[in-house]
Amino acid sequence: MPKLLDFPIIVINFKTYLESLGDRGMRIAKDAESVSNETGVCICVAPQFTDIKSIANAVSIPVFAQHVDPYPPGSYTGSISVEAIKDAGAIGSILNHSEKKLQLASIFAAVKMLKNAGMFSLVCAEDVEPAMAVAALSPTMLAVEPPELIGTGIPVSKARPEIVSESVQRIRSINREIKILCGAGITRGDDVRRAIELGSDGVLLASGVVKAKDPRAVIKEMAEAVLSSR
């Protein structure tokens, strides 16, 4: 794996929140970059599609797309190709987020296309069993996110610790290469600390940072939690 990613990792998904659109997304990406430079913790951002290029040009931290379609360039109106996100400056993509689900065959194809393009894949799964199915596709990272906790501020690492520890244990028993993240409701440094204590390699989060009054302060608190768990 190229050294662009380092673990434990923090991945901030901008979703389509107004608070992460355009200049406001740029601000959050710059905050993430400055905290990453200050702490040495790997922090990635997944901006809205239309902001990928400007953000990737402006920051040195890894930029991911939120989704990519498993189609080659050509007559696929409205689709997002691997080539397009790569050209815009992304180094990988989230796939199968519970808000943008894909069939297993499409996930497999997209993981393969990203790999062939020298890019990373971060595939989401809603529970332990789907996570096991996804693990068979050997993505770079796999994020377990129970949908009922997404956007609630109730952290998966505290409300459903067993889903994290069981995923970690079962996925590692079949594939030690995949980095395992957890997400949903992660809003504080302590939620990140707990996620790492449960054996995960990092967190995937959105509203806790994007909708925070002071996103930089939250990112800093989370990065410090990563440092203290090293």
User: Which residues make up the interface to ligand G3P (CB under 6 A)?
Assistant: 13, 97, 145, 150-151, 183-186, 204-208
What SS3 state is found at 161?
helix
The residue with tokens 């930029």 is 63
Nearer to ligand G3P, 11 or 173 (CB): 11
Catalytic residue among 33, 67, 126, 145: 145
User: In angstroms, what is the minimal distance from the CB of 15 to ligand G3P?
Assistant: 7
Among 205, 181, 217, 215, smallest CA distance to 7 is for 181
Interatomic CA distance for residues 157 and 147, integer angstroms: 14
Geometric angle at alpha carbon 114, from 109 and 118, rounded to 5°: 145
User: Which residue's Cβ has the minimum distance to ligand G3P?
Assistant: 207
Interatomic CA distance for residues 152 and 138, integer angstroms: 30
Nearer to ligand G3P, 87 or 214 (CB): 214
The angle, 0 to 180 degrees and rounded to 10, between the axes of the packed helices 104-116 and 128-135 is 40
The residue with tokens 């080659």 is 72
Is 67 catalytic? The answer is: no
Q: What percent of the residues of the chain are helix, what percent strand, and what percent coil, each to the nearest 5?
A: 45, 15, 40
Catalytic residue among 67, 97, 126, 221: 97
User: In angstroms, what is the minimal distance from the CB of 100 to ligand G3P?
Assistant: 10
Is 97 catalytic? The answer is: yes
Nearer to ligand G3P, 186 or 222 (CB): 186
User: In angstroms, what is the minimal distance from the CB of 186 to ligand G3P?
Assistant: 5
User: In angstroms, what is the minimal distance from the CB of 184 to ligand G3P?
Assistant: 5
Nearer to ligand G3P, 70 or 208 (CB): 208
Catalytic residues: 97, 145
